Structure 1
Amino acid sequence: MYLYKYILIFAIQLVGATACSQEHGPMVVEEEVILDQNQIDEDRIKLPDIDLSHWKVTIPEGSGKGGAISVEPPEILNYATNPVLKPFMYNDSTAGALVFHAYPSNATTANTKYSRSELREQMVPGDDNVNWTFAQGGKLKARIAMEEVTKDSEGKYHRVIILQIHGRLTNEQKERIGQSDNNAPPILKIYWQNGKIRVKTKVLKDLNASAEDILHEDAWDDDEGHTFDQEVGFKKFNIEVDVSDGKMIVSLNNTEFAVYDDIHMKKWGVFENYFKAGNYFQSRDAGSHASVKFYKLEVSH
Protein backbone atom coordinates (compact mmCIF):
# COMPACT_ATOMS: atom_id res chain seq x y z
CA MET A 1 0.00 0.00 0.00
CA TYR A 2 2.71 2.43 0.99
CA LEU A 3 4.85 1.45 -2.04
CA TYR A 4 1.92 2.05 -4.36
CA LYS A 5 1.37 5.49 -2.82
CA TYR A 6 5.01 6.53 -3.36
CA ILE A 7 4.99 5.26 -6.98
CA LEU A 8 1.80 7.22 -7.66
CA ILE A 9 3.29 10.47 -6.23
CA PHE A 10 6.49 10.04 -8.29
CA ALA A 11 4.44 9.47 -11.47
CA ILE A 12 2.41 12.62 -10.88
CA GLN A 13 5.60 14.68 -10.35
CA LEU A 14 7.20 13.22 -13.48
CA VAL A 15 4.16 14.02 -15.62
CA GLY A 16 4.11 17.60 -14.29
CA ALA A 17 7.78 18.11 -14.99
CA THR A 18 7.40 16.69 -18.50
CA ALA A 19 4.43 18.95 -19.23
CA CYS A 20 6.39 21.94 -18.00
CA SER A 21 9.33 20.96 -20.17
CA GLN A 22 7.09 20.59 -23.23
CA GLU A 23 5.43 23.90 -22.60
CA HIS A 24 8.45 26.03 -21.77
CA GLY A 25 11.60 23.97 -22.32
CA PRO A 26 14.30 24.08 -19.64
CA MET A 27 17.01 25.37 -22.02
CA VAL A 28 14.75 28.23 -23.14
CA VAL A 29 14.26 29.37 -19.57
CA GLU A 30 18.01 29.24 -18.94
CA GLU A 31 18.75 31.16 -22.17
CA GLU A 32 16.31 33.90 -21.16
CA VAL A 33 18.19 34.35 -17.90
CA ILE A 34 21.50 34.67 -19.77
CA LEU A 35 20.06 37.21 -22.19
CA ASP A 36 18.62 39.26 -19.35
CA GLN A 37 22.04 39.36 -17.65
CA ASN A 38 23.69 40.48 -20.88
CA GLN A 39 21.11 43.22 -21.22
CA ILE A 40 21.84 44.38 -17.68
CA ASP A 41 25.57 44.55 -18.45
CA GLU A 42 24.89 46.61 -21.60
CA ASP A 43 22.67 48.99 -19.68
CA ARG A 44 25.51 49.67 -17.25
CA ILE A 45 27.81 50.88 -20.06
CA LYS A 46 27.66 54.66 -20.47
CA LEU A 47 29.51 56.72 -23.06
CA PRO A 48 30.33 60.45 -22.78
CA ASP A 49 28.11 62.94 -24.60
CA ILE A 50 30.97 64.32 -26.69
CA ASP A 51 31.38 64.62 -30.47
CA LEU A 52 35.10 64.63 -31.28
CA SER A 53 34.75 65.25 -35.02
CA HIS A 54 35.89 68.89 -34.58
CA TRP A 55 38.66 68.38 -32.05
CA LYS A 56 42.27 67.28 -32.08
CA VAL A 57 44.08 66.09 -28.95
CA THR A 58 47.61 66.67 -27.70
CA ILE A 59 49.09 64.23 -25.19
CA PRO A 60 52.26 64.25 -23.00
CA GLU A 61 53.95 61.71 -25.21
CA GLY A 62 56.55 62.29 -27.91
CA SER A 63 60.21 63.05 -28.52
CA GLY A 64 61.44 65.87 -26.27
CA LYS A 65 60.38 69.47 -25.71
CA GLY A 66 57.99 70.70 -28.36
CA GLY A 67 57.51 67.15 -29.60
CA ALA A 68 54.20 66.27 -27.99
CA ILE A 69 51.99 64.04 -30.13
CA SER A 70 48.73 65.38 -31.59
CA VAL A 71 45.96 63.30 -33.15
CA GLU A 72 43.37 64.91 -35.44
CA PRO A 73 40.05 63.83 -36.94
CA PRO A 74 39.24 61.26 -38.16
CA GLU A 75 41.91 59.27 -36.25
CA ILE A 76 40.84 60.77 -32.90
CA LEU A 77 37.43 59.10 -33.27
CA ASN A 78 39.17 55.77 -32.59
CA TYR A 79 40.78 56.99 -29.36
CA ALA A 80 39.33 54.08 -27.35
CA THR A 81 41.40 51.55 -29.33
CA ASN A 82 44.42 53.73 -30.09
CA PRO A 83 47.35 52.34 -28.04
CA VAL A 84 49.16 55.71 -28.07
CA LEU A 85 46.14 57.67 -26.76
CA LYS A 86 44.71 55.11 -24.32
CA PRO A 87 46.96 56.01 -21.33
CA PHE A 88 45.98 59.69 -21.61
CA MET A 89 42.47 59.78 -23.09
CA TYR A 90 40.00 57.02 -22.31
CA ASN A 91 36.39 56.25 -21.39
CA ASP A 92 35.08 55.68 -17.90
CA SER A 93 32.13 53.59 -19.11
CA THR A 94 30.68 53.31 -15.61
CA ALA A 95 30.52 57.07 -15.08
CA GLY A 96 29.84 57.93 -18.73
CA ALA A 97 32.84 60.24 -18.92
CA LEU A 98 35.84 60.92 -21.12
CA VAL A 99 38.96 61.02 -18.94
CA PHE A 100 42.08 63.11 -19.63
CA HIS A 101 45.20 62.06 -17.73
CA ALA A 102 48.43 64.06 -17.57
CA TYR A 103 51.71 64.17 -15.68
CA PRO A 104 55.01 66.04 -16.07
CA SER A 105 56.77 65.09 -19.28
CA ASN A 106 59.49 66.42 -21.56
CA ALA A 107 57.03 66.05 -24.43
CA THR A 108 55.46 69.52 -24.19
CA THR A 109 54.09 71.93 -26.76
CA ALA A 110 55.89 75.09 -27.90
CA ASN A 111 56.22 78.03 -25.49
CA THR A 112 55.39 76.05 -22.33
CA LYS A 113 57.09 73.90 -19.70
CA TYR A 114 53.89 72.07 -18.74
CA SER A 115 52.43 68.97 -20.35
CA ARG A 116 48.84 68.36 -21.33
CA SER A 117 46.21 65.91 -22.40
CA GLU A 118 43.97 68.47 -24.03
CA LEU A 119 41.57 68.96 -26.94
CA ARG A 120 41.97 71.77 -29.45
CA GLU A 121 38.93 72.92 -31.45
CA GLN A 122 39.09 72.60 -35.22
CA MET A 123 36.21 74.28 -37.03
CA VAL A 124 37.31 72.41 -40.14
CA PRO A 125 38.47 68.91 -39.09
CA GLY A 126 42.21 68.55 -39.56
CA ASP A 127 42.80 72.27 -40.22
CA ASP A 128 44.19 74.71 -37.63
CA ASN A 129 43.93 77.66 -40.01
CA VAL A 130 40.15 78.15 -39.77
CA ASN A 131 39.15 79.80 -36.49
CA TRP A 132 36.64 82.33 -35.15
CA THR A 133 36.59 85.91 -33.89
CA PHE A 134 34.64 87.52 -31.08
CA ALA A 135 32.49 89.22 -33.71
CA GLN A 136 31.48 85.78 -34.99
CA GLY A 137 30.95 84.55 -31.43
CA GLY A 138 31.20 81.17 -29.76
CA LYS A 139 29.57 79.20 -26.98
CA LEU A 140 30.93 76.27 -24.98
CA LYS A 141 29.06 74.07 -22.52
CA ALA A 142 30.80 71.43 -20.42
CA ARG A 143 30.04 69.10 -17.52
CA ILE A 144 33.24 68.23 -15.69
CA ALA A 145 34.61 66.64 -12.53
CA MET A 146 38.12 66.40 -11.16
CA GLU A 147 38.74 62.69 -10.69
CA GLU A 148 42.07 62.86 -8.91
CA VAL A 149 45.01 65.24 -8.49
CA THR A 150 48.17 65.15 -6.42
CA LYS A 151 49.30 67.70 -3.82
CA ASP A 152 52.43 69.84 -3.62
CA SER A 153 54.94 70.00 -0.78
CA GLU A 154 52.69 72.48 1.08
CA GLY A 155 49.72 70.14 0.97
CA LYS A 156 47.84 72.08 -1.72
CA TYR A 157 46.39 70.39 -4.76
CA HIS A 158 48.24 70.99 -8.01
CA ARG A 159 46.46 73.37 -10.38
CA VAL A 160 44.88 72.17 -13.61
CA ILE A 161 43.63 74.29 -16.51
CA ILE A 162 40.44 72.59 -17.71
CA LEU A 163 39.20 75.06 -20.35
CA GLN A 164 40.73 77.81 -22.50
CA ILE A 165 40.11 80.23 -25.31
CA HIS A 166 43.38 80.66 -27.13
CA GLY A 167 44.20 83.51 -29.46
CA ARG A 168 45.76 83.00 -32.86
CA LEU A 169 47.40 85.25 -35.42
CA THR A 170 46.32 84.99 -39.02
CA ASN A 171 49.10 84.28 -41.48
CA GLU A 172 48.95 87.92 -42.58
CA GLN A 173 49.28 89.16 -38.98
CA LYS A 174 52.16 86.76 -38.33
CA GLU A 175 54.09 88.11 -41.32
CA ARG A 176 53.18 91.69 -40.42
CA ILE A 177 54.93 91.53 -37.03
CA GLY A 178 57.66 89.12 -38.15
CA GLN A 179 56.68 86.30 -35.82
CA SER A 180 57.77 82.74 -36.57
CA ASP A 181 54.44 81.11 -35.62
CA ASN A 182 50.74 81.93 -35.30
CA ASN A 183 50.67 81.83 -31.51
CA ALA A 184 48.81 84.59 -29.64
CA PRO A 185 47.97 84.80 -25.91
CA PRO A 186 45.04 82.91 -24.38
CA ILE A 187 42.21 85.34 -23.59
CA LEU A 188 40.67 82.82 -21.19
CA LYS A 189 42.04 80.21 -18.79
CA ILE A 190 39.73 78.34 -16.42
CA TYR A 191 41.49 76.56 -13.56
CA TRP A 192 40.49 73.89 -11.08
CA GLN A 193 42.36 75.23 -8.06
CA ASN A 194 42.10 73.64 -4.61
CA GLY A 195 38.52 72.59 -5.24
CA LYS A 196 37.35 75.90 -6.67
CA ILE A 197 37.04 77.34 -10.18
CA ARG A 198 39.23 80.31 -11.04
CA VAL A 199 39.06 82.42 -14.21
CA LYS A 200 41.95 84.38 -15.72
CA THR A 201 41.84 86.71 -18.74
CA LYS A 202 44.13 89.20 -20.47
CA VAL A 203 44.22 93.00 -20.28
CA LEU A 204 45.95 95.38 -22.67
CA LYS A 205 48.85 97.19 -21.00
CA ASP A 206 48.51 100.31 -23.13
CA LEU A 207 45.00 101.15 -24.32
CA ASN A 208 46.54 103.53 -26.88
CA ALA A 209 48.69 100.81 -28.45
CA SER A 210 48.69 100.77 -32.25
CA ALA A 211 46.89 98.13 -34.29
CA GLU A 212 50.24 96.48 -34.94
CA ASP A 213 51.50 96.65 -31.36
CA ILE A 214 48.35 94.93 -30.09
CA LEU A 215 49.32 91.82 -32.04
CA HIS A 216 52.43 91.23 -29.90
CA GLU A 217 52.09 88.90 -26.92
CA ASP A 218 53.98 91.26 -24.63
CA ALA A 219 51.32 93.95 -25.21
CA TRP A 220 49.00 91.92 -22.96
CA ASP A 221 49.11 91.18 -19.26
CA ASP A 222 47.19 88.85 -16.91
CA ASP A 223 44.23 90.30 -15.05
CA GLU A 224 43.81 89.80 -11.29
CA GLY A 225 41.61 86.76 -11.84
CA HIS A 226 38.25 85.77 -10.40
CA THR A 227 37.51 82.80 -8.15
CA PHE A 228 33.90 81.60 -7.95
CA ASP A 229 32.46 81.25 -4.45
CA GLN A 230 31.17 77.70 -4.89
CA GLU A 231 33.48 74.86 -3.94
CA VAL A 232 33.13 72.11 -6.53
CA GLY A 233 35.74 69.79 -5.03
CA PHE A 234 35.60 66.43 -6.79
CA LYS A 235 31.90 66.70 -7.68
CA LYS A 236 30.39 67.30 -11.11
CA PHE A 237 29.92 70.92 -12.16
CA ASN A 238 28.73 72.80 -15.24
CA ILE A 239 30.71 75.51 -17.00
CA GLU A 240 29.41 77.73 -19.80
CA VAL A 241 31.42 80.24 -21.81
CA ASP A 242 29.52 82.67 -24.03
CA VAL A 243 31.51 84.97 -26.33
CA SER A 244 30.10 87.76 -28.48
CA ASP A 245 31.47 90.95 -30.03
CA GLY A 246 33.45 92.70 -27.28
CA LYS A 247 32.02 90.55 -24.47
CA MET A 248 32.67 87.29 -22.64
CA ILE A 249 30.58 85.60 -19.93
CA VAL A 250 31.70 82.60 -17.86
CA SER A 251 29.13 80.87 -15.65
CA LEU A 252 29.43 78.15 -13.02
CA ASN A 253 26.40 75.89 -12.51
CA ASN A 254 24.27 78.70 -13.95
CA THR A 255 24.32 80.41 -10.53
CA GLU A 256 27.55 82.44 -10.57
CA PHE A 257 28.70 84.63 -13.44
CA ALA A 258 31.92 86.40 -14.40
CA VAL A 259 31.13 89.07 -17.00
CA TYR A 260 33.82 90.75 -19.11
CA ASP A 261 32.38 93.66 -21.07
CA ASP A 262 35.07 96.30 -21.38
CA ILE A 263 37.63 97.94 -23.64
CA HIS A 264 40.02 94.99 -23.30
CA MET A 265 37.47 92.57 -24.75
CA LYS A 266 36.73 95.00 -27.58
CA LYS A 267 40.43 95.37 -28.38
CA TRP A 268 40.79 91.57 -28.36
CA GLY A 269 38.53 91.43 -31.40
CA VAL A 270 41.59 91.66 -33.65
CA PHE A 271 42.53 88.04 -32.94
CA GLU A 272 41.20 84.72 -34.14
CA ASN A 273 40.38 82.17 -31.43
CA TYR A 274 39.74 78.51 -30.68
CA PHE A 275 38.45 76.60 -27.65
CA LYS A 276 40.56 74.12 -25.69
CA ALA A 277 39.33 71.56 -23.16
CA GLY A 278 40.89 68.82 -21.06
CA ASN A 279 43.82 68.59 -18.67
CA TYR A 280 46.62 71.17 -18.97
CA PHE A 281 48.55 70.10 -15.87
CA GLN A 282 50.35 72.93 -14.05
CA SER A 283 53.11 71.05 -12.24
CA ARG A 284 56.60 69.71 -12.84
CA ASP A 285 56.80 67.98 -9.44
CA ALA A 286 58.13 64.44 -9.56
CA GLY A 287 55.33 61.89 -9.25
CA SER A 288 52.55 64.46 -9.71
CA HIS A 289 49.57 63.82 -11.97
CA ALA A 290 45.88 64.58 -12.49
CA SER A 291 42.84 63.04 -14.18
CA VAL A 292 39.87 65.12 -15.31
CA LYS A 293 36.47 63.73 -16.34
CA PHE A 294 34.35 65.32 -19.06
CA TYR A 295 30.75 64.15 -19.15
CA LYS A 296 29.62 66.68 -21.72
CA LEU A 297 31.31 69.07 -24.15
CA GLU A 298 29.45 71.14 -26.71
CA VAL A 299 30.60 74.05 -28.89
CA SER A 300 28.56 76.22 -31.23
CA HIS A 301 29.17 79.32 -33.37
Structure 2
Amino acid sequence: MKNKNYNIHLFLSLSILLLCLTQSAVAQVPADLIRNCKQWYITYPTGKNVNTICNEPSNEFYFVNKDKNAITFRVPIRSDNGTTPNTRNIRSELREKTADGKENIFWTTDGTHQIYVKQAITHLPLKHPQLVATQIHGDKAAGIDDAMVMRLEGKKLFLCFNGGKLHPNVMIKSDYVLGTVHEVIFKIVDGKHYCYYSEDGKLLSAYKNGTAERYLIKDGNNDFVMDKNYDKSYFKVGNYTQSNPTDEGDLTGDPNNYGEVVVYDFDVDHSGKGFTTAKSSK
Protein backbone atom coordinates (compact mmCIF):
# COMPACT_ATOMS: atom_id res chain seq x y z
CA MET A 1 0.00 0.00 0.00
CA LYS A 2 2.86 2.38 0.85
CA ASN A 3 4.50 1.75 -2.50
CA LYS A 4 1.21 2.35 -4.26
CA ASN A 5 0.65 5.65 -2.45
CA TYR A 6 4.24 6.66 -3.12
CA ASN A 7 3.82 5.99 -6.82
CA ILE A 8 0.61 8.04 -6.90
CA HIS A 9 2.29 10.99 -5.16
CA LEU A 10 5.31 10.72 -7.46
CA PHE A 11 3.04 10.69 -10.52
CA LEU A 12 1.13 13.74 -9.31
CA SER A 13 4.34 15.62 -8.49
CA LEU A 14 5.81 14.91 -11.89
CA SER A 15 2.56 15.94 -13.57
CA ILE A 16 2.51 19.27 -11.73
CA LEU A 17 6.18 19.84 -12.56
CA LEU A 18 5.56 19.10 -16.23
CA LEU A 19 2.57 21.46 -16.26
CA CYS A 20 4.63 24.24 -14.69
CA LEU A 21 7.46 23.74 -17.17
CA THR A 22 5.00 23.78 -20.06
CA GLN A 23 3.32 26.95 -18.83
CA SER A 24 6.68 28.67 -18.31
CA ALA A 25 7.58 27.91 -21.94
CA VAL A 26 4.39 29.47 -23.28
CA ALA A 27 4.79 33.00 -24.65
CA GLN A 28 3.68 35.66 -22.18
CA VAL A 29 4.65 38.75 -24.23
CA PRO A 30 5.31 39.05 -27.99
CA ALA A 31 9.08 39.26 -27.47
CA ASP A 32 9.04 35.68 -26.17
CA LEU A 33 8.42 34.67 -29.79
CA ILE A 34 11.18 36.83 -31.32
CA ARG A 35 14.62 35.33 -31.85
CA ASN A 36 16.39 38.58 -30.92
CA CYS A 37 13.99 41.17 -29.56
CA LYS A 38 16.82 43.73 -29.27
CA GLN A 39 17.04 43.78 -33.05
CA TRP A 40 13.64 45.39 -33.67
CA TYR A 41 11.49 48.37 -32.79
CA ILE A 42 7.77 48.72 -33.44
CA THR A 43 5.61 51.48 -34.89
CA TYR A 44 1.99 51.47 -33.73
CA PRO A 45 -1.11 52.72 -35.62
CA THR A 46 -1.06 55.80 -33.39
CA GLY A 47 2.31 56.74 -34.90
CA LYS A 48 4.15 55.96 -31.67
CA ASN A 49 7.51 54.15 -31.88
CA VAL A 50 8.65 51.81 -29.11
CA ASN A 51 12.40 51.29 -29.36
CA THR A 52 12.77 48.63 -26.66
CA ILE A 53 10.28 45.81 -27.18
CA CYS A 54 11.87 43.02 -25.13
CA ASN A 55 9.39 43.56 -22.30
CA GLU A 56 6.65 45.33 -24.26
CA PRO A 57 3.32 43.86 -23.08
CA SER A 58 0.57 42.71 -25.39
CA ASN A 59 -1.79 45.50 -26.44
CA GLU A 60 -4.56 45.94 -28.99
CA PHE A 61 -2.10 46.44 -31.88
CA TYR A 62 0.57 43.86 -31.01
CA PHE A 63 -0.22 40.79 -28.97
CA VAL A 64 0.34 37.08 -28.45
CA ASN A 65 -2.40 35.08 -30.17
CA LYS A 66 -4.76 32.81 -28.22
CA ASP A 67 -2.68 29.71 -29.06
CA LYS A 68 0.41 31.43 -27.60
CA ASN A 69 2.49 30.54 -30.64
CA ALA A 70 2.42 33.70 -32.77
CA ILE A 71 2.38 37.50 -32.69
CA THR A 72 -0.70 39.30 -33.99
CA PHE A 73 -0.19 42.69 -35.66
CA ARG A 74 -3.59 44.41 -35.82
CA VAL A 75 -4.43 47.81 -37.35
CA PRO A 76 -7.96 48.98 -36.58
CA ILE A 77 -9.18 51.77 -38.86
CA ARG A 78 -10.35 54.40 -36.41
CA SER A 79 -10.42 58.19 -36.33
CA ASP A 80 -7.95 58.23 -33.42
CA ASN A 81 -5.28 56.33 -35.37
CA GLY A 82 -2.68 58.45 -37.08
CA THR A 83 -0.11 57.76 -39.76
CA THR A 84 3.66 57.66 -39.60
CA PRO A 85 5.83 60.30 -41.33
CA ASN A 86 6.01 60.11 -45.14
CA THR A 87 2.95 57.89 -45.52
CA ARG A 88 -0.82 58.29 -45.39
CA ASN A 89 -1.42 54.70 -44.28
CA ILE A 90 -1.34 52.94 -40.92
CA ARG A 91 0.94 50.24 -39.58
CA SER A 92 1.71 47.92 -36.70
CA GLU A 93 5.12 46.85 -37.86
CA LEU A 94 8.62 45.96 -36.69
CA ARG A 95 11.63 47.79 -38.10
CA GLU A 96 15.09 46.19 -38.14
CA LYS A 97 17.90 47.50 -35.91
CA THR A 98 21.48 46.37 -35.36
CA ALA A 99 21.79 43.00 -33.61
CA ASP A 100 22.74 44.68 -30.31
CA GLY A 101 19.77 47.03 -30.60
CA LYS A 102 21.84 50.19 -30.14
CA GLU A 103 20.87 51.90 -33.39
CA ASN A 104 18.87 51.56 -36.60
CA ILE A 105 20.56 49.42 -39.20
CA PHE A 106 21.18 50.54 -42.78
CA TRP A 107 22.78 48.17 -45.28
CA THR A 108 23.55 48.22 -48.99
CA THR A 109 22.49 45.62 -51.54
CA ASP A 110 26.12 44.49 -51.90
CA GLY A 111 26.73 41.03 -50.44
CA THR A 112 23.97 38.76 -49.15
CA HIS A 113 20.97 39.85 -47.07
CA GLN A 114 17.93 37.68 -46.36
CA ILE A 115 14.80 37.45 -44.26
CA TYR A 116 12.55 34.49 -43.47
CA VAL A 117 8.98 34.95 -42.23
CA LYS A 118 6.26 32.44 -41.40
CA GLN A 119 2.94 34.28 -41.28
CA ALA A 120 -0.73 34.46 -42.22
CA ILE A 121 -2.72 37.45 -43.44
CA THR A 122 -5.98 37.07 -41.56
CA HIS A 123 -8.04 40.23 -42.16
CA LEU A 124 -8.22 43.18 -44.58
CA PRO A 125 -9.83 46.64 -44.35
CA LEU A 126 -13.40 46.74 -45.63
CA LYS A 127 -13.30 49.42 -48.36
CA HIS A 128 -9.66 49.13 -49.35
CA PRO A 129 -8.79 45.48 -48.72
CA GLN A 130 -5.04 45.85 -49.04
CA LEU A 131 -1.99 45.42 -46.85
CA VAL A 132 1.75 44.74 -46.97
CA ALA A 133 3.31 41.92 -44.96
CA THR A 134 7.13 41.69 -45.05
CA GLN A 135 9.18 44.29 -46.88
CA ILE A 136 12.61 45.54 -47.85
CA HIS A 137 12.87 49.29 -47.42
CA GLY A 138 15.47 51.35 -49.26
CA ASP A 139 16.63 54.95 -49.60
CA LYS A 140 13.50 57.05 -49.95
CA ALA A 141 15.47 60.15 -50.95
CA ALA A 142 16.86 58.20 -53.90
CA GLY A 143 13.38 57.10 -54.99
CA ILE A 144 13.69 53.55 -53.65
CA ASP A 145 11.39 53.56 -50.59
CA ASP A 146 9.42 50.24 -50.48
CA ALA A 147 12.00 48.44 -52.58
CA MET A 148 10.32 45.02 -52.51
CA VAL A 149 7.20 44.11 -50.54
CA MET A 150 4.72 41.25 -50.40
CA ARG A 151 1.30 42.82 -50.90
CA LEU A 152 -2.23 41.44 -50.77
CA GLU A 153 -5.08 43.19 -52.58
CA GLY A 154 -8.27 41.21 -52.16
CA LYS A 155 -7.11 37.73 -53.17
CA LYS A 156 -4.15 38.82 -55.29
CA LEU A 157 -0.85 38.22 -53.52
CA PHE A 158 2.11 39.74 -55.35
CA LEU A 159 5.50 41.39 -55.10
CA CYS A 160 5.46 45.14 -55.50
CA PHE A 161 8.51 47.33 -56.12
CA ASN A 162 7.80 50.84 -54.84
CA GLY A 163 4.40 50.94 -56.49
CA GLY A 164 5.77 49.64 -59.80
CA LYS A 165 8.32 52.46 -60.10
CA LEU A 166 11.33 50.16 -59.81
CA HIS A 167 9.96 47.07 -61.58
CA PRO A 168 6.56 45.73 -62.67
CA ASN A 169 4.62 43.70 -60.11
CA VAL A 170 5.33 39.97 -59.95
CA MET A 171 2.37 37.71 -59.10
CA ILE A 172 2.77 35.11 -56.35
CA LYS A 173 -0.80 33.80 -56.52
CA SER A 174 -4.18 35.16 -57.56
CA ASP A 175 -6.34 33.24 -55.09
CA TYR A 176 -4.86 33.72 -51.63
CA VAL A 177 -7.30 32.69 -48.89
CA LEU A 178 -7.24 34.79 -45.73
CA GLY A 179 -5.74 32.87 -42.83
CA THR A 180 -3.50 30.67 -44.97
CA VAL A 181 -0.18 30.19 -43.18
CA HIS A 182 2.74 30.65 -45.53
CA GLU A 183 6.51 30.98 -45.48
CA VAL A 184 8.39 33.60 -47.45
CA ILE A 185 12.08 34.34 -47.93
CA PHE A 186 13.38 37.58 -49.42
CA LYS A 187 17.02 37.37 -50.46
CA ILE A 188 19.35 39.92 -52.03
CA VAL A 189 22.69 38.90 -53.52
CA ASP A 190 24.70 41.81 -54.94
CA GLY A 191 21.57 43.63 -56.08
CA LYS A 192 19.66 40.63 -57.38
CA HIS A 193 16.38 40.18 -55.47
CA TYR A 194 14.97 36.68 -54.94
CA CYS A 195 11.72 35.51 -53.38
CA TYR A 196 10.71 32.05 -52.18
CA TYR A 197 7.10 31.29 -51.19
CA SER A 198 5.42 28.17 -49.79
CA GLU A 199 2.19 27.10 -48.08
CA ASP A 200 3.24 23.52 -47.31
CA GLY A 201 5.38 24.32 -44.26
CA LYS A 202 8.56 22.93 -45.81
CA LEU A 203 10.29 26.03 -47.15
CA LEU A 204 12.74 26.72 -44.34
CA SER A 205 13.96 23.15 -44.08
CA ALA A 206 14.26 22.89 -47.87
CA TYR A 207 16.12 26.18 -48.03
CA LYS A 208 18.61 25.06 -45.39
CA ASN A 209 19.12 21.81 -47.32
CA GLY A 210 19.63 23.60 -50.63
CA THR A 211 16.49 22.09 -52.17
CA ALA A 212 14.15 25.10 -52.22
CA GLU A 213 14.28 25.86 -55.94
CA ARG A 214 10.68 24.64 -56.42
CA TYR A 215 9.53 27.49 -54.17
CA LEU A 216 11.33 30.21 -56.11
CA ILE A 217 9.11 32.93 -57.58
CA LYS A 218 10.42 33.72 -61.06
CA ASP A 219 10.08 36.72 -63.34
CA GLY A 220 9.96 35.28 -66.82
CA ASN A 221 13.16 33.34 -67.42
CA ASN A 222 14.94 34.98 -64.49
CA ASP A 223 15.30 33.31 -61.11
CA PHE A 224 15.53 36.77 -59.58
CA VAL A 225 12.63 39.21 -59.60
CA MET A 226 14.60 42.47 -59.68
CA ASP A 227 18.22 43.49 -60.23
CA LYS A 228 18.91 46.85 -58.62
CA ASN A 229 21.52 48.30 -56.27
CA TYR A 230 20.79 50.85 -53.55
CA ASP A 231 21.65 51.62 -49.94
CA LYS A 232 20.08 52.73 -46.63
CA SER A 233 18.20 49.43 -46.58
CA TYR A 234 16.44 47.50 -43.81
CA PHE A 235 13.83 44.79 -43.32
CA LYS A 236 10.33 45.24 -41.88
CA VAL A 237 7.98 42.59 -40.50
CA GLY A 238 4.32 42.81 -39.51
CA ASN A 239 1.37 44.72 -40.92
CA TYR A 240 1.48 47.84 -43.08
CA THR A 241 -2.21 48.32 -43.82
CA GLN A 242 -2.77 50.17 -47.10
CA SER A 243 -5.72 52.21 -45.91
CA ASN A 244 -6.65 54.95 -43.45
CA PRO A 245 -9.71 56.69 -41.93
CA THR A 246 -10.14 58.92 -45.01
CA ASP A 247 -10.16 55.96 -47.38
CA GLU A 248 -12.55 53.96 -45.21
CA GLY A 249 -15.01 56.86 -44.85
CA ASP A 250 -18.24 55.92 -43.08
CA LEU A 251 -16.80 52.51 -42.18
CA THR A 252 -14.09 54.13 -40.05
CA GLY A 253 -14.61 52.97 -36.48
CA ASP A 254 -16.46 49.81 -37.48
CA PRO A 255 -15.07 47.12 -35.11
CA ASN A 256 -14.75 44.75 -38.08
CA ASN A 257 -12.67 47.23 -40.06
CA TYR A 258 -9.02 46.37 -39.57
CA GLY A 259 -5.96 44.80 -41.17
CA GLU A 260 -4.29 41.88 -39.44
CA VAL A 261 -1.21 39.71 -39.89
CA VAL A 262 -0.22 36.83 -37.61
CA VAL A 263 3.52 36.08 -37.52
CA TYR A 264 4.71 32.69 -36.25
CA ASP A 265 8.44 33.02 -36.83
CA PHE A 266 11.00 35.24 -38.54
CA ASP A 267 14.75 35.62 -38.82
CA VAL A 268 17.29 37.76 -40.68
CA ASP A 269 20.83 37.12 -41.88
CA HIS A 270 23.43 39.53 -43.25
CA SER A 271 26.39 37.18 -43.05
CA GLY A 272 25.50 34.76 -45.81
CA LYS A 273 25.79 31.90 -43.31
CA GLY A 274 22.05 31.25 -43.24
CA PHE A 275 19.24 31.45 -40.71
CA THR A 276 19.63 30.44 -37.08
CA THR A 277 17.52 28.21 -34.86
CA ALA A 278 18.11 30.25 -31.71
CA LYS A 279 15.34 31.19 -29.31
CA SER A 280 14.47 34.72 -28.26
CA SER A 281 17.36 36.68 -26.76
CA LYS A 282 16.24 39.29 -24.27
How does the TM-score come out when normalised to structure 1?
0.67
Q: Contact 1:228–1:256 (CA<8 Å) still a contact in 2?
A: no
Aligned partner of 1:45 in structure 2 is 26
Identify the match of residue 56 of structure 1 among 41, 61, 69: 41
Question: Given the alignment of the two structures, is residue 165 of structure 1 paired with residue 127 of structure 2, yes or no?
Answer: no
Q: Contact 2:194–2:216 (CA<8 Å) still a contact in 1?
A: no
Tell me the SS of whatever aligns to 1:60.
coil
Give the whole-Å Cα distance in 2 for the aligned partners of 1:78 and 1:200: 33
Q: One-letter code of the match for 2:96?
A: E
Identify the match of residue 109 of structure 1 among 62, 66, 84: 84
Gaps of 5+ in 2: 204-214, 271-282
Task: Give the direction of change, closer, same or farther, for the CA distance of 1:52–1:149 in structure 2 (3 Å limit).
Answer: same
Identify the match of residue 165 of structure 2 among 211, 216, 221: 221
Aligned partner of 2:243 in structure 1 is 283
Query: Structure 1, residues 36-92: CA drift from partner, whole Å, max 9, x if none?
Result: 78359639936635432211110012xxxxxx11111xx20112x3xxx62211112
Query: Structure 1, residues 78-134: CA drift from partner, whole Å, max 9, x if none?
Result: 12x3xxx62211112615111111123542111111110001111252422x41111
Tell me the SS of whatever aligns to 1:38.
helix
Aligned partner of 1:7 in structure 2 is none
Question: Given the alignment of the two structures, is residue 192 of structure 1 paired with residue 192 of structure 2, yes or no?
Answer: no
Q: Contact 1:143–1:236 (CA<8 Å) still a contact in 2?
A: yes
Q: One-letter code of the match for 2:134?
A: L
Give the whole-Å Cα distance in 2 for the aligned partners of 1:112 and 1:41: 43
Give the whole-Å Cα distance in 2 for the aligned partners of 1:193 and 1:77: 32
Tell me the SS of whatever aligns to 1:140.
strand
Give the whole-Å Cα distance in 1 for the aligned partners of 2:93 and 2:157: 18
Could you say which structure has the higher helix fraction? 1
Give the whole-Å Cα distance in 2 for the aligned partners of 1:151 and 1:99: 19
Identify the match of residue 236 of structure 1 among 181, 190, 197: 181
Structure of higher RCO (CA pairs closer than 8 Å, 6+ residues apart)? 2
Aligned partner of 1:138 in structure 2 is 113
Could you say which structure has the higher strand fraction? 1
Q: Contact 2:45–2:92 (CA<8 Å) still a contact in 1?
A: yes
Task: Give the direction of change, closer, same or farther, for the CA distance of 1:27–1:257 in structure 2 (3 Å limit).
Answer: closer
Tell me the SS of whatever aligns to 1:225.
strand
Q: Contact 1:247–1:261 (CA<8 Å) still a contact in 2?
A: no
How does the TM-score come out when normalised to structure 2?
0.71
Give the whole-Å Cα distance in 2 for the aligned partners of 1:183 and 1:274: 15
RMSD (Å), alpha carbons: 3.4
Among all aligned residue pairs of Structure 1 and Structure 2, give the percentage whose two residues are the same amino acid: 19
Q: Contact 2:136–2:148 (CA<8 Å) still a contact in 1?
A: yes
Task: Give the direction of change, closer, same or farther, for the CA distance of 1:273–1:26 in structure 2 (3 Å limit).
Answer: closer
Q: Contact 1:55–1:122 (CA<8 Å) still a contact in 2?
A: yes
Q: One-letter code of the match for 2:189?
A: S
Aligned partner of 1:247 in structure 2 is 192
